[in-house]
Amino acid sequence: MPRYQDFYRQSIDQPDAFWREQARLVDWEHPFDRVCDFSRPPFAKWFVGGRTNLCHNAVDRHAATRPDAPALVYLSTETDQEKTYSYAELKVEVMRMAASMKSLGVGKGDRVLIYMPMIAEAAFAMLACARIGAIHSVVFGGFAAGSLATRIDDAKPKLIVSAEAGMRNGKEVPYKHLLDDAIDQSQFPPEKVLMVDRGLHPNWQRVEGRDMDYASLRARHLDAQVPCEWLESSEPSYILYTSGTTGKPKGVQRDTGGYTVALAASMKHIYCGNAGETMFTTSDIGWVVGHSYIVYGPLIAGMTTIMYEGTPLRPDAGIWWQIVERFKVNVMFSSPTAVRVLKKQDPAYLHQYDLSSLKHLFLAGEPLDQPTHQWIMGELNKPVIDNYWQTETGWPMLSTVRGVEDTPIRFGTPAFPVFGYNLKIFREDGSECDANEKGIVAVVPPLPPGCLSTVWGDDDRFVKTYFSLFKEPQVYSSFDWGIRDEQGYHFILGRTDDVINVAGHRLGTREIEEAVQGHPAIAEVAVVGVQDAVKGQMPVAFAVVKDASRVASAENRTALEKEVMKAVDESLGAIARPSRVYFVNLLPKTRSGKLLRRSLQALAEGRDPGDLTTIEDQSALEQIRSALAG
């Protein structure tokens, strides 16, 4: 087995040979003529001339050789439902969904917006789009009507697939009225809406002539045979909109062939997932992790993928580990936020289940702090691997690549650049940083297969947003600060737009958060820069304590605030000391665990925080507002 540095260097120095080899992991209906066309920088086309299909590689080829092998496990602790689909059964359901879509006029190149909870039909819809060459755009279920309307107008879908309601923490989350409002607000409404009726919200209103019942349509296509539409490698597979508090959303456009190869390579080399094994990813299909590692990646690898509707705490804090035991999960993928939630629970929940099948746990979505990393790895007694990547990249940029070399895991770092990414850390003048020097994490193009090919409908925005950090060199900006040490391990220090400028000193919020979390009473923290008339900006911290009694009185809060400030003084110096530390029970996050720092900053400065409907628990907002009001 080659050492990782040799493997990585080949991917950078001999990319055509490297990616030609990885492309053998997938099926091609017609071979490609050229590995990479980079004649129009920064746009890259991979596997030019090759024709393939995502659904074929995820479903059909396994259904042909291992038809009875389990492919998809749908599990809901919200509705107490569970169903396992073999590869043969999954293919049949995808063809039924595909036939239903085609009967509604959907064809190659048409957009289909999917606005659904975590149910099996959502996966069927994604795979059906890939099968017939339609371009899906999954929007997180429960998104606000206004935000949904902007995505409808940008993608201009011919069809929307939805359900009348979802469930979260035992409570119904109605979708249909939000969908109707969004369509009413949009300038480019869809011709048809395909509704999955779960029986959760019996009084939903059907719009005559537009809304179609999926159960009825499916019944007409039970024996449908829908062949795969073979797409040229660079043709788009899907659009996924990045979240933001203001402005028009960016539609990340993904290709077909490059994405298929990148996922196959990542499943083999990073996640070490083999055919016949089981993968459990705790994300949602509304986010990029759900696209890559709930639906497409595990199925391309011939694994069983678990699609879970529920929370990590219902019915109790042991549910995820119970799933690992029951389904003999081999590879698990979650987020640092979820682990910090579990860290506050009794560890007995974790230890009562047999986790011997589990090879490793991967975490991504936000920086993984050292205490959390150390805690979960110690409790599991399994390798816990930090991933760093983005919606735009579609698969990891930094990771330990255990399928090539079992390099030592170090706490608080996502380790090394992943094969294919010519990742470097740059000074603000465009020169490359030395070891242990803080700079901007960027990738020298061409971006590897699987990354965004452009912004949907806006090539200029693609260039201006991602490739205008410097005039020279032209690089893809991650918008993150980072450091590389002498051994090549990388540390992510937070967004470049989350930098606080205090009296001329540039401080990363990530560094201050680490210092605050160093106090033993603090479970979780978010730090933002707030305008200050004298110093430009001052850091403000919002902290969740492990024991609520520590902040039960004003006197206790004041004492703990002083202790936290002292901890920052001792770690980073007085210049980094927060001007205030507000204690709350919850921080505002999306369901995927993304912390809305820009919204926190806006609230602290008395500005409009933008769209807050993506926050999973709205009570977090009231706590923030109450804390700011004193």
Q: What is the pLDDT of residues 87-96, one digit of tens each?
A: 999 999 999 9
Inform me whether the pLDDT recorded for 119 exceeds 80: yes
Helix (H, G, I), strand (E, B) or coil at 159: strand
Q: What is the CA radius of gyration of the chain?
A: 24
User: Pick from 507, 527, 514, 506: which is nearest to 604 by CA?
Assistant: 527
Q: Which amino acid is at 318?
A: G
What phi, psi does 440 have (nearest 5°)? Answer: -95, 125
Spell out the domain ranges in the chain: 4-310+387-478, 504-629
- Note whether 53 and 131 are within 8 A (CB): yes
pLDDT tens profile 132-170: 999 999 998 867 787 789 899 999 999 999 999 999 888
CB 539 within 8 A of CB 502: yes
Phi, psi of 478 (to 5 degrees): -80, -15
User: DSSP string of 218-233?
Assistant: HHTTTT-------EET
User: Confidence class of residue 3 from pLDDT cuts 50, 70 and 90?
Assistant: very high
Residue 81: Cβ within 10 Å count: 13
Bridging pattern class, strands 360-363 and 331-334 = parallel
226 contacts 142 by C-beta, under 8 angstroms: no
Backbone angles phi, psi at 388, to 5 degrees: -125, 120
In the chain, the N- to C-terminal Cα span, in Å, equals 60
Q: What is the pLDDT of residue 147?
A: 79
Owner of token pair 């890259």: 44
The answer to whether 315 touches 80, Cβ cutoff 8 Å, is no
Angle at the Cα of 522 (from 519 to 523), degrees rounded to 5? 135
In 164-277, the DSSP E strands lie at 165-168, 171-174, 192-196, 211-213, 231-232, 238-241, 251-254
The architecture (CATH level 2) of 504-629 comes to 2-Layer Sandwich (3.30)
**Tens of pLDDT along 521-557?**
999 999 998 887 667 788 999 999 998 888 889 899 9
Of all helices (H) and strands (E), which one includes residue 64? helix 61-65
Asked if residues 596 and 122 have their Cβ atoms less than 8 Å apart, the reply is no
- What is the tens place of the pLDDT at every residue in 248-305? 778 999 999 999 999 999 999 999 999 999 999 999 999 899 999 999 999 999 999 9
Q: Tokens 């959390």 correspond to what residue?
A: 372
pLDDT at 246: 39
> What crossing angle do the helices spanning 15-22 and 4-13 adopt, rounded to 10°?
110
Residue pair 516/581 in contact by the 8 Å Cβ criterion: yes
Contact partners, residue 482, CB within 8 Å, separation at least 6: 425, 438, 439, 440, 441, 490, 491, 492, 493
What percent of the chain shows pLDDT beyond 90?
A: 74
Whether 4-310+387-478 shares its CATH topology with 504-629 is answered no
pLDDT of 351 reads 94
pLDDT at residue 51, as a whole number: 98
Strand partners, 502: 505, 536
Reported as a single tens digit per residue, the pLDDT across 577-589 is: 999 999 998 888 8
User: What is the Cα–Cα distance from 121 to 355, expressed in whole angstroms?
Assistant: 29
Q: Give the H/E segment covering residue 100.
A: helix 87-103
Average pLDDT, the chain: 92
Q: What 3-state class would DSSP assign to 550?
A: helix
Q: What is the pLDDT of residues 373-385, one digit of tens each?
A: 999 999 999 999 9
What tokens does 186 get?
């949009």
DSSP string, 479-520: EEEEEE-TTS-EEEEEEGGGEEEETTEEEEHHHHHHHHHTST
- Mean pLDDT of all residues in 434-453: 97
Q: Which residue has the higher pLDDT, 396 or 551?
A: 396
Confidence label for 405 from pLDDT (cuts 50, 70 and 90)? very high
In this predicted model, what pLDDT tens digit does every residue of 202-223 receive, in sequence order? 889 999 999 999 999 999 999 9
DSSP state of 595: B
How confident is residue 596, by pLDDT bands cut at 50, 70 and 90?
confident
Question: Cα–Cα distance between 128 and 628 in angstroms, integer?
Answer: 48
Task: Name the band, by pLDDT with cuts 50, 70 and 90, for residue 500.
Answer: confident
Phi, psi of 512 (to 5 degrees): -70, -40
Look-up of token digits 């957009």:
111
Residue 489: other Cβ atoms inside 10 A: 18
The yes-or-no verdict on residue 193 having pLDDT over 50 is yes
User: Tokens at residue 393, please?
Assistant: 């990249």
For helices 120-132 and 87-103, the axis angle rounded to 10 degrees is 70
pLDDT of residue 477: 95
pTM of the complete model:
0.86
162 neighbors 151 (Cβ within 8 angstroms): no
CA quadruple 170, 337, 417, 235: dihedral sign? positive
453 neighbors 237 (Cβ within 8 angstroms): no
Residue 325 DSSP one-character state: H
Give the tens place of pLDDT for each residue, 463-491. Answer: 999 999 998 999 999 989 999 999 999 99
Q: Given the DSSP bridges, would you call strands 476-484 and 439-443 parallel, antiparallel or unpaired? A: antiparallel
Query: Among all chains, which residue has been given the structure tokens 């199925």?
Result: 299
Q: Specify the pairing of strand 384-386 against strand 398-399.
A: unpaired
CA dist 442 and 479 (Å) reads 8
CATH of domain 4-310+387-478: 3.40.50.12780
- Taking only the tens place, the pLDDT of each residue in 43-85 is 999 999 999 999 999 999 999 999 999 999 999 999 999 999 9
CA distances 100 to 65, 191, 225, Å, are 26, 14, 11
Predicted confidence (pLDDT) per residue in 219-250, tens digit: 999 999 999 999 999 999 999 998 543 357 78
Q: What is the pLDDT of residue 1?
A: 47
Nearest Cα neighbor of 9 from 435, 401, 362 is 401
pLDDT digits (tens, 9 = 90+) for 318-350: 999 999 999 999 999 998 888 988 988 999 999
Q: Establish whether the linkage from the previous residue to 473 is cis, with ω within 30° of 0.
A: yes
**Helix (H) or strand (E) segment spanning residue 177:** helix 176-185
